[in-house]
Amino acid sequence: MDHFSYQDGNLYCEAVTVAAIAQQVGTPCYVYSRATLTDHYARFAKAFAALDPLICYSIKSSANLAVCRALAECGAGMDLVSGGELHRARLAGVDPKRCVYAGVGKTDAEISLALEAEVGWFNIESEGEFENISRIAARMNRRCQAALRVNPDVDPQTHRYTTTGKKETKFGVDLDRARAFFDTYGGDRHCALTGIHLHIGSPVYSAKPYVQSTTKVLRLIDELAARGYRIDMLDLGGGFGADYVTDQAPLASEYARELVPLLADRVKDGLKIILEPGRTITANAGVLLLRVLYVKKSGTKTFAICDGGMNVLIRPSHYGAFHFIWPCRVAREHVPRQRRQQMDLPGLAPVDVVGPICETGDFLAIDRLLPPVNRGDLLAVFSSGAYGMVMASRYNSMPLPAEVMVTGDTAMLVRRRESYDDLTAHEQEPEVVLNIKRSNPKPGP
C-alpha cells in the first residue's frame, strides 16, 4: 500500500525513522515517500495501459515541486486549474502540451499565459469561458484545442463538497446543453472543440459512477459524430480512491477492469484517453508529523493538544474526513497491523486530537482510540499527502510547515519551515494606490 511501516515499534518512511526527521526539521512537518509516489503512479499506469492514456497528475492534490518532479520523471503530464499550477508544472519540467487546463474561473491573464505556453487542452466549463478563450486566442493570433467539460448528472456517492458531476453543481455543462454548445462553437477557428472532459467528484470508491458517466458521454460522442463533430479526446478526470482505511479503496486495476472494455475499441479507432489522478497517487505517499504539546482532561474528555491542527490539515474539520493517527513510537502490542477507524488493541483510550488554533472546530480526530499519549510524543497523521499541505493556511499567524521527501535512506528538505519574517514578508509601509480626490476631481451628485 505504501512505504510507511513500523519496525521495532518505530515508524519508518522507507529506510528512515520519521522521529529522526522531526528531530532535524521540527514539527509540524509533512513527510513524503518517493517510492510510494512512483509505485502508485506505476500501478495506475499499468492498470490502464491497454488504453495507452495520457496520465495528467492532478497538481492540486500535492503541489510541491519535488512531488511534481518525481511524477514528471515517471512520464506524467499534469492537470492544472490555475496559472500558478502551470508555473509549477513548467518548473517541474513538464511540457505544457501534455497538460490539461480546467477550472470554472480562468482569468484573462491565466488564459493568455496558457495560450502562450501552448497547453494541450483547455477543459472548458461554460459558454462565456469558451467565447473568452476564443476572443483572446484571436487577439493573440493563436489556435488552441479544447474539451467541453460535461456534467453527466451522475452521483459519485461522495461528500457533497466534492461532488462535481451532479446537475446542481457549478461544474461543466449538462448533456442537453452540450449538444447546443457544439452547434454554436463547434466550428470555431481559434479554439478547436475536439474533446470531452468529465470529472464527477472525489474520492469515488466504486467504478460504477465512472461507468455510468462514461456510457452517457460515449452516447453523446456518437451523436456529435452524426452531426459532423469529431471528438478525438476523452478525459475521464480524477477522483480514484485512496486507502485512508486499509483496503478501503478499489485498486486501480478494479476501476480499469470496468472502464477498459468500454473504451478499448474507441481507442483503436483513434480516441485519445486522458486520466487525472491525484489522491490515489499522493494521499498515502505522505504523513503529517505533529508533536503533542499538552495532554488535557476536561470533563470526560482527554485532549491531545498538538502543534498543528486545522491550519496544517483541514480535511477532518472541513469534510469530516477520517485520517488514521498513531504515535510514531509504540510498544510492541500497539504496533498497528492495519489502519482502521476503530482499532482493537489492548490498553487504548479515547482521545480528541486537536490543534493550537482558537476554534472548537480545530480537530484532527474526535474520541479516537489511541495508545497512551504524553507530552512530547510524536504523532503521525497518515494519508495526508493529498490535500494536506496544499490546503494549509497561516491562520492564527502560524507559519506553514516544512516538507521533506524521503528516497530510500535519505531525507531531503523540499520546503523549509516558514519563519515569522515570512509571515509579514508581503506586508509593507502603506503606499497610496488610489486617491479619490486626486483621480476624480468632479465626483458625480
Catalytic residues: 358
Residues numbered 359 to 388 that lie near ligand LLP (CB under 6 A) are 386-387
Task: Show the beta-strand stretches assigned E in 61-120.
Answer: 77-80, 99-101
41 — phi, psi (to 5°)? -60, -45
Cβ burial, residue 30 (10 Å; 0-12/13-18/19+): buried
DSSP states along 359-399 = STT-EEEEEEEES---TT-EEEE-S-SSSSGGG---GGGPP
CB 312 within 8 A of CB 44: no
80 binds ligand LLP (CB under 6 A): no
- Least distance CB 241 / ligand LLP (angstroms): 8
- Which residue number, 83 or 237, has a Cβ lying nearer to ligand LLP? 237
The runs of H, that is alpha helices, within 48-107 are 65-73, 83-91
Nearer to ligand LLP, 160 or 438 (CB): 160
Secondary structure letter of residue 329 according to DSSP: B
Among 156, 239, 309, 327, the residue binding ligand LLP under the rule CB under 6 A is 239
Eight-class DSSP state of 400: P
Residue 278 as a binder of ligand LLP (CB under 6 A): the answer is: yes
Stretch that binds ligand LLP, among 15-23, 58-66, 125-133, 357-365 (CB under 6 A): 58-66
Residue 40 or 291 with smaller CB distance to ligand LLP: 40
Q: Given the rule CB under 6 A, which of 56-64, 209-217, 222-230, 295-303 is the region that contacts ligand LLP?
A: 56-64
Binding characters for ligand LLP, 86-125, by CB under 6 A (x = yes): ----------------x-----------------------
CA–CA distance, 302 with 353 (Å, rounded to integer) = 9
Q: Which one of 112, 157, 162, 248 is in contact with ligand LLP (CB under 6 A)?
A: 162
Q: Does 277 interact with ligand LLP (rule: CB under 6 A)?
A: yes
Q: Which is nearer to ligand LLP, 121 or 182 (CB)?
A: 121
Residue among 2, 14, 39, 79 that touches ligand LLP (CB under 6 A): 79
| 199: contact with ligand LLP by CB under 6 A | yes
Site mask for ligand LLP (CB under 6 A), range 383-412, x = bound: ---xx-------------------------
- Which C-beta is closer to ligand LLP: that of 188 or that of 235? 235
CA–CA dist 418, 397 (Å, integer): 11
Cell 474520492 sits at which residue?
203
Residues 6 or more apart whose Cβ sits within 8 Å of residue 84: none
Contact indicator for 137, 185 with CB cutoff of 8 Å: no
Cell numbers at residue 156, please?
459519485
Instruction: Please tell me whether residue 420 adopts helix, strand or coil conformation.
Output: helix
238 touches ligand LLP by CB under 6 A: yes
Using CA of residue 153, residue 154, residue 157, residue 158, what is the dihedral sign?
negative
Q: Could you say which DSSP state residue 419 is in? A: P
| Beta carbon nearer to ligand LLP, 27 or 282 | 282
Among 315, 334, 368, 415, interactor with ligand LLP by CB under 6 A: 315
Tell me which residue has its CB nearest to ligand LLP.
278
User: What angle in degrees, to the nearest 10, is found between the helix axes of 252-268 and 208-226?
Assistant: 10
Residues 246-275 that bind ligand LLP (CB under 6 A): none
Out of 58, 64, 134, 163, which residue is the one contacting ligand LLP (CB under 6 A)?
58
Check residue 237 for interaction with ligand LLP (CB under 6 A): yes
Distance (Å, whole) CA 238 – CA 280: 9
Span interacting with ligand LLP, options 226-234, 236-244, 261-269, 417-425, rule CB under 6 A: 236-244
Report, in Å, the least distance between residue 352 CB and ligand LLP: 21
209, 154 Cβ separation under 8 angstroms: yes
Q: Which position among 126, 202, 317, 383 is part of the footprint of ligand LLP (CB under 6 A)?
A: 202
201 and 162 in contact (C-beta within 8 Å)?
yes
Write down the least CB distance from residue 60 to ligand LLP, Å. Answer: 6
Q: How far is 441 from 374, CA to CA, in rounded Å? A: 66
Q: Can you list the positions of beta strands (E) in 299-362?
A: 301-306, 325-327, 349-354
Pairing outcome for strands 29-33 and 402-407: parallel
For ligand LLP, the closer of residues 326 and 387 by Cβ is 387
85 makes contact with ligand LLP (CB under 6 A): no
Q: How far is the CB of 434 from ligand LLP (least distance, A)?
A: 36
What residues line the site for ligand LLP (CB under 6 A)? 58, 60-61, 79, 102, 162, 199, 202-203, 237-240, 276-280, 315, 319, 386-387
